[in-house]
């Protein structure tokens, strides 16, 4: 068990991604450990979302190797890949809820597809998930277009958690939320990580999230990871972008 | 990681009963777990006290935790609460979390009843009136925007109009010409085949001329344009509506009718006569070709006969109809586009109904025109 705990749940080696002539990721290496919340930061346009999308297989890579749960995603057969996909959940930046399904159907969709369980259990699990993300069951029959931005994020998280994944990717989970809502969301991610033993890969710009929710921080710059470590390591770093990011006006305000 | 299938053993303890859960109680095994729990739920009330022991559970997630909680609730009977024992510290917060779930089932109220069906029919009929009012409303708004632009020509969006003209006219030429050419061939072949029985081969030219120039040419092109450009207009405007782009325009002080709809309408009204003309020429060409190769009607004879059989009226009738049909298609497409609600499904429904209604109104208009031209003797 101990050996596995220190094991990397995501192992990215020498990833290169190129769009036309622009090289977005250039020989990037990254490990995400089981059970940690990794905050992933970097300047806008540095390729944070591209890396996330490359890991989950939405963006083709030029070279390199990606292992998730110890499975090499390029070498995996279709059924192995499906097995991996069942064990991760993804929260897209805009929520990506299915607009023609209600909240209930959105959350139940992956469960219904993968597990043969009764409608009663589906409904109960849906209510439990809504409760976990801090929503009341009466939103269940609303359509995504009838929800506020914060509620969309929460429902999308509930859907990402529907199958009790071991690994969750969050793409800017707190962007577009009010500070209190964002704080609640960080708290929620922490609680879920504790209760469900989740590993969380979180792309974020929110300094508060980095301080309150993340165990470790990785910084992307020039297509590589320029630093990875605890928040204290980041503050001690001499890298110009990091100095600006963690010692700027906003950072000082967050640290009080 | 997976430490075996889940089990739920019943162990008698004095006058009570302990249910010992073991193995991994996770989503993977949810169907098995649900059956086991449903069996165990029947024990509720059979013994004075029943407890649930979860100390042997190796892995627990929301599914497992909820099913244990569900079991606890149904075993709680007559004021005696069933206890969950042996909960490890790791999982207690998860169990606390699901304990807050309220169990009352939420029922979906969408039932198909006779009254419901009658209501739907009634609403659909009442909706027809609404559709007509919507179309007239849009026609008025477009005319008002056109008048506004006539007074202030600076507000006219030439670039946008040209762009749409390229989309709906220039790019439509190949397919329109191809299809009308083939239709011309078919009409001619069928005409010759049947007229030959009476030795009246040459009259195929009369039929082809009248049909193509007066009716089929413009109708066919209008139907193609409704399917090709009407649907595109609805989808464009609908997705702009979904992403609040139209609201954004309005709040910046622009009239969406003037900015988005007028250039599209104008492009369509200009395009359809051009396409109808090209289509008619292609159909005559195709018909003439088949008459020559299949019916042995020499091109000179064909042209001579065509000049005698067809008056300029037939051609004018066709061209008068074209812009009106274009306007109908455009208005229907724009009304449907602006009626799109927030979901992808709604976009699909309105695009479908844009094409269906567009074609329907084009045919209705054609009938109205037929009566009109007959009564003025054209």
Q: Does residue B190 have a pLDDT over 60?
A: yes
| Residue A199, strand partner residues | A167
Pair B332, B354: CB distance under 8 Å: yes
Q: Does residue B104 have a pLDDT over 90?
A: no
Query: Measured between CB atoms, does B346 come within 8 Å of chain A?
Result: yes
* Cα A250 to Cα A239: distance, rounded to the nearest angstrom: 18
Chain A with chain B: Cβ pairs closer than 8 A: 84
Collect all residues with Cβ–Cβ distance below 8 Å to A34 and sequence separation of at least 6.
A4, A5, A6, A7, A8, A9, A199
Query: Measured between CB atoms, does B110 come within 8 Å of chain A?
Result: no
Phi-psi region of B88 (alpha: psi -120 to 50; beta: other; left: phi over 0): beta
Query: Measured between CB atoms, does A164 come within 8 Å of chain B?
Result: yes
Q: Please, what is the average pLDDT of chain A? A: 82
Which residues does chain B have within 8 Å of residue A108's beta carbon, measured at their own beta carbons? none
Whole-number pLDDT of residue B323? 94
Contact B106 A127 (CB under 8 A): yes
Identify the DSSP state of B23.
E
Q: Does residue B109 have a pLDDT over 70?
A: no
Which residues does chain B have within 8 Å of residue A120's beta carbon, measured at their own beta carbons? 105
Contact A123 B105 (CB under 8 A): yes
| Residue A15, strand partner residues | A28
Angle at B126 between CA B120 and CA B127, to 5 degrees: 85
Å from B173 to nearest chain A CA?
Answer: 34
Between B99 and B169, name the one with better pLDDT: B169
Between B296 and A256, name the one with better pLDDT: B296
Q: Does residue A134 have a pLDDT over 50?
A: yes
Contact A145 B343 (CB under 8 A): yes
How many CB atoms neighbour CB B121 within 10 A?
10
Which residues does chain B have within 8 Å of residue A146's beta carbon, measured at their own beta carbons? 342
Contact A163 B27 (CB under 8 A): yes
Query: Measured between CB atoms, does A4 come within 8 Å of chain B?
Result: yes
pLDDT digits (tens, 9 = 90+) for A147-165: 888 888 888 888 888 888 8
H or E segment to which residue B254 belongs: none
Identify the DSSP state of B80.
B
Query: Measured between CB atoms, does B100 come within 8 Å of chain A?
Result: yes
Which residues does chain B have within 8 Å of residue A195's beta carbon, measured at their own beta carbons? 91, 93-94, 97
Confidence of residue A221 (pLDDT cuts 50, 70, 90): confident
pLDDT digits (tens, 9 = 90+) for A10-25: 888 888 888 888 888 8
This complex has an ipTM of 0.74
Chain B: residue whose CA lies nearest to A120: B105
- DSSP letter string, A140-151: TT--GGGS-HHH
* Cα A124 to Cα A104: distance, rounded to the nearest angstrom: 11
Q: Does residue A51 have a pLDDT over 70?
A: yes
Å from B284 to nearest chain A CA?
Answer: 47
* Cα B31 to Cα A244: distance, rounded to the nearest angstrom: 53
Contact A163 B34 (CB under 8 A): no
Confidence of residue B270 (pLDDT cuts 50, 70, 90): very high
Q: Does residue A101 have a pLDDT over 90?
A: no
* Cα A9 to Cα A70: distance, rounded to the nearest angstrom: 7
Which one of B6, B58, B62, B67 makes the best mutation probe of the A interface by having the most chain A beta carbons within 10 Å?
Answer: B62
Q: How far is CA A44 from CA A41, A50, A241, B270, in A?
A: 9, 11, 12, 46
pLDDT digits (tens, 9 = 90+) for A57-91: 888 888 888 888 888 888 888 888 888 888 888 88
Region A43-50 average pLDDT: 82
Chain B: residue whose CA lies nearest to A141: B108
Whole-number pLDDT of residue A253? 67
Pair B329, B357: CB distance under 8 Å: no
H or E segment to which residue B253 belongs: none
Lowest mean pLDDT among A103-117, A136-150, B9-23: B9-23
* Cα A218 to Cα A203: distance, rounded to the nearest angstrom: 10
Region B278-289 average pLDDT: 94
Q: Which has the closest alpha carbon to B181: B221, B225, B210, B214?
A: B221
pLDDT digits (tens, 9 = 90+) for A201-217: 988 877 777 887 888 88
Which one of A116, A196, A198, A199 makes the best mutation probe of the B interface by having the most chain B beta carbons within 10 Å?
Answer: A196
Q: How far is CA B74 from CA B7, B10, B81, B83, B181, in A?
A: 19, 16, 10, 12, 75
Whole-number pLDDT of residue B332? 95
* Cα B106 to Cα B114: distance, rounded to the nearest angstrom: 24
Whole-number pLDDT of residue B84? 79
Identify the DSSP state of B26.
S
Query: Measured between CB atoms, does B97 come within 8 Å of chain A?
Result: yes
pLDDT digits (tens, 9 = 90+) for B227-243: 999 999 999 999 999 88
Which residues does chain B have within 8 Å of residue A99's beta carbon, measured at their own beta carbons? 342-345
Whole-number pLDDT of residue A1? 34
Contact B66 A143 (CB under 8 A): no
Q: Please, what is the average pLDDT of chain B? A: 87
**B60 three-state secondary structure:** strand
Between B227 and B19, name the one with better pLDDT: B227
Region A104-123 average pLDDT: 85
């Amino acid at each position: 068990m101990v050996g596995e705990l220190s094991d990397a749940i995501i192992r990215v080696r020498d990833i290169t991604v190129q769009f036309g002539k622009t090289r977005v990721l250039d020989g990037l290496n990254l490990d995400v450990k089981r059970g940690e919340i990794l905050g992933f930061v970097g300047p806008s346009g540095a390729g944070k979302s591209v890396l996330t999308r490359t890991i989950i297989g939405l963006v083709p890579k030029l070279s390199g190797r990606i292992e998730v749960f110890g499975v090499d995603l390029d070498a995996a057969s279709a059924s192995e890949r499906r097995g991996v996909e069942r064990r991760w959940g993804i929260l897209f930046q805009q929520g990506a809820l299915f607009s023609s399904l209600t909240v209930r159907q959105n959350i139940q969709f992956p469960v219904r597809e993968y597990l043969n369980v009764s409608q009663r259990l589906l409904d109960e699990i849906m209510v439990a998930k809504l409760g976990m993300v801090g929503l009341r069951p009466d939103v269940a029959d609303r359509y995504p277009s009838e929800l506020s931005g914060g509620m969309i994020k929460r429902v999308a998280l509930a859907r990402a958690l529907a199958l009790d994944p071991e690994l969750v990717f969050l793409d800017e989970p707190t962007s577009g939320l009010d500070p209190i809502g964002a704080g609640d969301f960080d708290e929620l991610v922490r609680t879920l990580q504790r209760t469900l033993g989740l590993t969380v890969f979180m792309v974020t710009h929110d300094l508060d999230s980095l301080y309150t929710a993340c165990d470790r921080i990785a910084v992307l710059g020039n297509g590589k990871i320029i630093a990875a470590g605890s928040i204290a390591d980041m503050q001690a770093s001499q890298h110009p972008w990091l100095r600006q990011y963690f010692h700027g006006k906003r950072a000082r305000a967050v640290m009080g | 990681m997976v430490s075996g299938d889940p089990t739920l053993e019943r162990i008698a303890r004095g006058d009570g009963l302990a249910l010992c859960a073991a193995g991994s109680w996770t989503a993977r095994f949810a169907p098995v777990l649900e059956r086991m729990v449903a069996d165990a739920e029947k024990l509720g009330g059979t013994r004075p006290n029943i407890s649930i022991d979860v100390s042997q559970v190796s892995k627990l997630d929301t599914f497992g935790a909820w099913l244990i909680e569900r079991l606890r609730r149904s075993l709680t009977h007559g004021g005696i609460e069933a206890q969950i024992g042996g909960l490890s510290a790791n999982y207690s917060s998860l169990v606390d979390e699901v304990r807050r779930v309220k169990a009352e089932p939420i029922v979906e109220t969408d039932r198909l009843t006779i009254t419901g069906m009658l209501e739907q029919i009634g609403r659909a009929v009442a909706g027809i009136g609404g559709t007509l009012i919507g179309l007239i409303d849009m026609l008025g708004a477009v005319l008002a925007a056109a008048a506004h632009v006539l007074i202030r020509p600076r507000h006219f969006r030439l670039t946008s109009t040209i762009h749409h003209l390229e989309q709906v006219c220039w790019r439509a030429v190949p397919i329109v010409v191809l299809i009308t050419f083939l239709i011309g061939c078919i009409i001619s072949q069928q005409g010759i085949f049947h007229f030959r029985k009476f030795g009246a081969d040459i009259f195929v030219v009369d039929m082809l001329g009248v049909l193509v120039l007066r009716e089929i040419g413009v109708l066919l092109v209008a139907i193609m344009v409704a399917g090709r450009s009407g649907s595109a207009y609805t989808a464009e405007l609908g997705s702009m509506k979904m992403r609040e782009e139209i609201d954004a325009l309005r709040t910046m002080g622009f009239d969406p009718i003037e900015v988005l709809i007028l250039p599209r309408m104008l492009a369509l009204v200009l395009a359809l006569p051009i396409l109808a003309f090209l289509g008619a020429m292609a159909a005559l060409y195709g018909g003439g070709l088949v008459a020559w190769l299949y019916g042995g009607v020499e091109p000179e004879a064909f042209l001579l006969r065509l000049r005698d059989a067809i008056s300029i009226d037939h051609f004018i009738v066709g061209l008068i109809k074209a812009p009106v049909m274009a306007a109908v298609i455009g208005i229907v497409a724009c009304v449907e586009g602006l009626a799109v609600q927030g979901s992808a499904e709604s976009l699909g429904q309105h695009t479908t109904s844009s094409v269906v209604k567009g074609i329907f109104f084009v045919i209705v208009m054609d009938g109205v025109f037929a009566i009109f031209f007959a009564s003025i003797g054209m």
